[in-house]
Amino acid sequence: MLSAFLGLFWPYRIIGREHLPQQGPAILVANHASFLDPVFLYAIAPTKPRFIVWEAHYRLPVLGWLYRALNAIPADIWSATNTPIRPHAYREALGHLQAGGILAVFPEGGRTPDGRFLKWRVGAARLALSIQAPIIPITFNGFYRIWPMYRALPRRGQVEIVVHPPVDPSPWRSLPRRQAAHHLTRHLRDLVAAAYRLPGPADLPPPTWENPLLADPISRQALEPDQPRYATE
C-alpha cells in the first residue's frame, strides 16, 4: 500500500529488485539525498529493516514518533570523534543482525547538500565484517531533484532505485580491522556511485543558499574531498 501511494506522486522504477534480501542477516546501504530515501527503502523491502538514524531526528515530534514506531536505532552522527555508531548503538545493531534481522544504513550520515556524496562512514562495514553479513548496495537516483536539502517541501518527479548484487565481506577479512572496514566501505561507495547520476545545473542550490554543514567544524568533516566516479562523469 505504501509503495502504491508513493508511486502516485513519485513514479519510480526498481532495477535489481531480486537482490533485496528476504531474510537476514543482511545490511542495506544507500546514498542519501532526501527525506524520502528511507521511506522508499522501507516500502520496497520485502522484509522490513531496522534503520540507524540520527538521534536528533529520533527526538522530533512527528519524525521521531515514526522512527520509534519502526524501532530505529538512534546514533550520534555529528560527534566530536566523527563516529556515528557509539558502543551501545553498535551492540544493538549487531544483536539485531545476529538474530537474523536486516539493517538499513545511510553511510553518509546525512543528506547531501549539493548532490555529490558526503564522506561514507565505516559502521556498516564493521558490522558486516563482524558477523559475515552480506551488504546490499543501493543507488537512489532523482531523489535529490525532488527534495534537496535546500527545499522545505518535496516536488513531484520520477525516481529510480538500483539494487546491486550482495557484497560478501569475506575478501576483506584478511586485512587489519580498520583497513578492512575502510576498504570495504570505499568499495561499496564506488559501486553505488557507478550507477548514480549527478543532478543537473537546474537542480543545484541557489547562489544565496548557505550549506549548513559548513557552519560547524565537525559537520564540515562530512564533506568528501575524494569524490568517487559517478555514472554521469
Question: pLDDT, tens digit, for every residue of 52-75?
Answer: 877 777 777 776 777 777 788 887
Residue 80 has pLDDT above 60, yes or no: no
Question: pLDDT, tens digit, for every residue of 116-161?
Answer: 999 999 989 999 999 999 999 999 999 999 999 999 899 999 999 9
Residue 110 has pLDDT above 80, yes or no: yes
pLDDT of residue 82: 47
Q: Per-domain residue ranges for the chain?
A: 2-155+171-220
Return the SS3 of 139. Answer: strand
pLDDT of residue 60: 72
* Average of per-residue pLDDT values in the chain: 89
pLDDT of residue 219: 80
| CA nearest neighbour of 29 among 15, 21, 46 | 21
Q: Give the start-end residues of each E strand in the chain.
A: 12-15, 26-30, 50-54, 73-75, 102-105, 135-141, 159-163
Question: pLDDT, tens digit, for every residue of 197-217?
Answer: 999 999 999 999 999 888 888
3-class secondary structure per residue, 204-232: CCCCCCCCHHHHCHHHHCCECCCCCCCCC
Residue 84 has pLDDT above 60, yes or no: no
∠ at Cα 139 (32, 39), nearest 5°? Answer: 55
What letter would DSSP give residue 45?
Answer: -
The burial of 104, by beta-carbon neighbours within 10 Å (0-12 exposed, 13-18 middle, 19 or more buried), is given as: buried
Whole-model pTM: value is 0.92
Cβ–Cβ under 8 Å, residues 17 and 163:
yes
pLDDT band at 83 (very low <50, low <70, confident <90, very high): low
